[in-house]
Homo-oligomer: A and B are copies of this chain.
Amino acid sequence: MHPLPPPPTCAFASDNAAGAHPLVMDALLKANSGHALAYGSDTWTAETEARFRDLFGPTADTFLVWNGTGANVMALATLVQPADCVVCSEWAHIAVDETGAPERALGAKILTLPSTDGKIRPEQLEHLRHLIGVPHHAQPGVVSITQSTELGCVYTAAEVAAICETAHSMDMRVHLDGARIANATAALGGDLAALRSFTVDAGVDVVSFGGTKAGLAFGEAVVYLNPDLARRAKYVRKQVNQLPSKMRFVAAQFNALLEDDLWITLAQHSNAMGRRLYDATSDIAGVTHLGPPDVNSVFPVLPRDVIAPLQEWCFYWDWDVSRSQVRWMTAWDTTEDDVDRFAAGVRAAVI
């Protein structure tokens, strides 16, 4: 292992280790002027709701919330019926990384399906059809897909549409966990048509629209594309602890993020940095990649003994310790210089 060069200025730990974009922070600051009625009865929130209707169509119904787990739990809590289960990939954030929050709030089973890339397939839903109508089994009521997935992969619009079609034919509702919906939108074309292709056009019912990882200080949105399902949403948001009182401070951030497609621009950059990192390390002997990344994360296998020294030099997370697999993740503020320095460090360490 060669001596390591000076580390990058930012880590490759996660996109939630980044701060907020300056325009977002500026909007937050400007919203701090005088009194405004709490709980969303303010002009900032009205603007945000209008912006989401611009994104998803005139009947989209938007509810601002605090965080990603909260967005997911709120969305699911409005979708499950008594004795339903929620079906998702075995890698789904709701199944693996939320400390059982859905089970606690919903009292419902989370039924996981095997997956290698975080995506599920319509055939896997089909295999659950035999559960329908049998009183001894939780009923498949909701399918939750993550876009982009926890493993950095992106569903095509056609793949999402196929899942929605199968789910709806089984009388299931479809939730999309879009903690990184910006990255997926960027990967699939980077415009409004791209966003719509895998959401409202594909038949998704409800979206958790991620803000935090896209460049906010905090804040997410639950957007009902099927507004009939929003009937209890305003009560459920409060009931699952997700109603911000000074809501203007969430709304103002979103207004800045959604202005001039800033959210897409930032995600395009983040994705590009992910690809740059892949390109800059794929020729290093000892670094094994799965393939080029769809979005802003790579999951390389490294020589076991370099992992810890590199983490101390510039932090990132282990992924699967048993296989010496790690996760490197870029963010909206990762620079080319950060990537190049990081790649240089990896090269020095591995050799």
A37 proximity list for chain B (CB < 8 A)? 11, 13, 17, 315
- Chain B residue numbers with a CB within 8 Å of A106 are 103
Query: How near does chain B come to A51, taking the closest CB pair, in angstroms?
Result: 21
Chain B residue at minimal CB-CB distance from A102: B109
Q: 0/1 per residue, A57-88, Cβ < 8 Å to B?
A: 00000000011111001000110011111000
The reply to whether B108 and A237 form a contact with Cβ atoms under 8 Å apart is: no
Chain A's interface size range is 35 or more
Chain B residues whose C-beta falls within 8 Å of the C-beta of A240 in the assembled complex:
101, 104-105, 241
CB-based contact A73/B241 at 8 Å: yes
Structural contact, A243 and B104, CB atoms closer than 8 A: no
In the complex, residue of chain B having the shortest beta-carbon distance to the beta carbon of A249: B217
In the complex the two chains form, is A20's CB within 8 Å of B32's CB?
yes
The smallest beta-carbon distance between A26 and chain B, in angstroms, is 9
Determine which residue in A34, A96, A239 has the highest number of CB atoms from chain B within 10 A of its CB, and name it. Answer: A239
Q: Are B104 and A239 in contact (CB under 8 A)?
A: yes
A100 touching B105, Cβ below 8 Å: no
Quick check: B136 and A97 within 8 Å, CB to CB?
yes
- 9-residue interface stretch from A192-200, A228-236, A270-278, A343-351: A228-236
In the assembled complex, which residues on chain B have CB atoms less than 8 Å from the CB atom of A9? 34-35
What B residues does A97 contact at CB under 8 A?
136-137
Q: Cβ of A138 < 8 Å from any Cβ of B? A: yes
The distance in angstroms between the C-alpha atoms of A245 and B78, with both chains bound, is: 24
For the complex, give the distance between the alpha carbons of A181 and B32 in Å.
23
Chain B residues near A84 (CB, 8 Å)? Answer: 100
Q: A83 and B243: CB pair below 8 A?
A: no
| Closest Cβ neighbor of A14 among chain B residues | B38
User: What CA separation (Å) do A248 and B243 show in the bound complex?
Assistant: 20
Interface positions of A (Cβ within 8 A of B)? 9-11, 13-14, 16-20, 22, 25, 28-29, 31-39, 66-70, 73, 77-78, 81-85, 96-101, 103-110, 130, 135-139, 212, 217-218, 232, 234-246, 249, 315, 321, 331, 333
- Pick 16 A–B contacts, CB within 8 A, sort by A: A10-B34, A10-B35, A11-B37, A14-B38, A19-B36, A32-B217, A35-B331, A66-B66, A67-B244, A73-B241, A83-B232, A98-B239, A101-B238, A105-B107, A105-B240, A217-B246
Other A-B pairs beyond A69-B238, A218-B246, 16, CB < 8 Å: A14-B38, A17-B35, A18-B35, A19-B32, A19-B36, A25-B29, A28-B28, A32-B217, A69-B241, A70-B241, A82-B236, A82-B239, A100-B107, A103-B108, A104-B108, A135-B238
